[in-house]
Structure 1
């Protein structure tokens, strides 16, 4: 006989999903540090030279830490209001977690050789797909009416917009890389900031 899910069951699933996601994200961030090269040298000059030689690895670690932290912050911002979850939402969340987990691997790929379109593109594409997945998850949850009644309107009506704006930053950086090379890293920061300003202006107009 098939199991009949109740609102209480769905609510428990949402809570377990949040706890599980938090744990996986924490592990992914920890794995980033494991791959960091340890500086070498018997003197201060040799030590600093070793740090400089591994400078891109440390920069990539910082970028990936911020990226994963932003993924988690978005998840926390949304799922603090989610009261129910079913198989489609859980499936989307697992895909989102998969893309979180491969971040340390992609960071290593990015730093193993010269940054070319393949290495840069793999990293950027993964982030873009992850954010699009999250946008779909938010849209599905809103459509089912599974946000708490006290959830902000900006979340329940167009909560997916922020993720799509951030995703566009990573996806747009691919053609930019062909034009300006590694300066395309800046697009990852510029587009979300500019998009956030536009989104806040639209929110103020809607609220007014």
Structure 2
């Protein structure tokens, strides 16, 4: 187990994360442009050419938004940080800042299997950093006091792990079957819904248990 030496509160890490995610989301739209002086036909053609960029933007906005939410929630449990929490946070933020690059790959070269694989690997790495951070906090109560997810660390970790597993498995899948591997990401919709129901039940039990006691 790594040596844990508390190094202050989490405020600076949270502020840094907010800035990194905001900049990464902003970078997603920098390639959106339409040349001046186009006639109607050329104008419509330019808009059609922007469709893949828009689809990739929406996908990455959803990805970054959900991981930003998870990061905020994870740090809601943190009272003090140590070197490992800071390191894992920086690793995750480094991947988050990288997301605009694979987003551009799938918008401009979405038919290339490598583009899909790189994008999936980036998302899986981002999720893995959050999962590792959550595992460290679960095993170091001195960093979080009495704070913990209402549904428990195990169930909350399973929600993050689902994203990691699905995107990680789609990396080799993309190299075998090509861009069609992106459809495998839709598996997360029913899986997240099911885990969400379990989490809701766990939260209800956590609320009603003290009342019964």
Compute the TM-score of the two structures, normalised by the length of structure 2.
0.81
Compute the TM-score of the two structures, normalised by the length of structure 1.
0.83
The number of residues matched between the two structures is: 199
Offset, 1:148:
4.8
Aligned equivalent of 1:143: 139
Q: Residue 166 of structure 2 contacts residue 184 of structure 2 at CA under 8 Å; is this kept in 1? A: yes
**Structure 1 spans left out of the alignment, 5+ residues:** none
Higher relative contact order (CA 8 A, sep 6+): 2
Which whole-Å CA distance do the structure 1 matches of 2:145 and 2:188 have between them?
A: 27
Offset, 1:153:
3.2
Aligned equivalent of 2:82: 86
Which whole-Å CA distance do the structure 1 matches of 2:146 and 2:33 have between them?
A: 48
Which whole-Å CA distance do the structure 1 matches of 2:93 and 2:80 have between them?
A: 18
TM-aligned CA distance change 1:155 to 1:31, over 3 Å: farther
Aligned equivalent of 1:170: 167
TM-aligned CA distance change 1:67 to 1:201, over 3 Å: closer
Moved more, 195-204 or 161-170: 195-204
Q: Residue 150 of structure 2 contacts residue 202 of structure 2 at CA under 8 Å; is this kept in 1? A: no
Moved more, 37-46 or 70-79: 37-46
Alignment root-mean-square deviation, CA: 2.5
**Structure 2 spans left out of the alignment, 5+ residues:** 207-213
Aligned equivalent of 1:21: 17
Whether 2:32 is the aligned partner of 1:36: answer: yes
Aligned equivalent of 2:97: 101
Offset, 1:69:
1.1
CA deviations on 1:9-41 (whole Å, 9 max, x unpaired) are: 52x2x1111111111111111111112243555
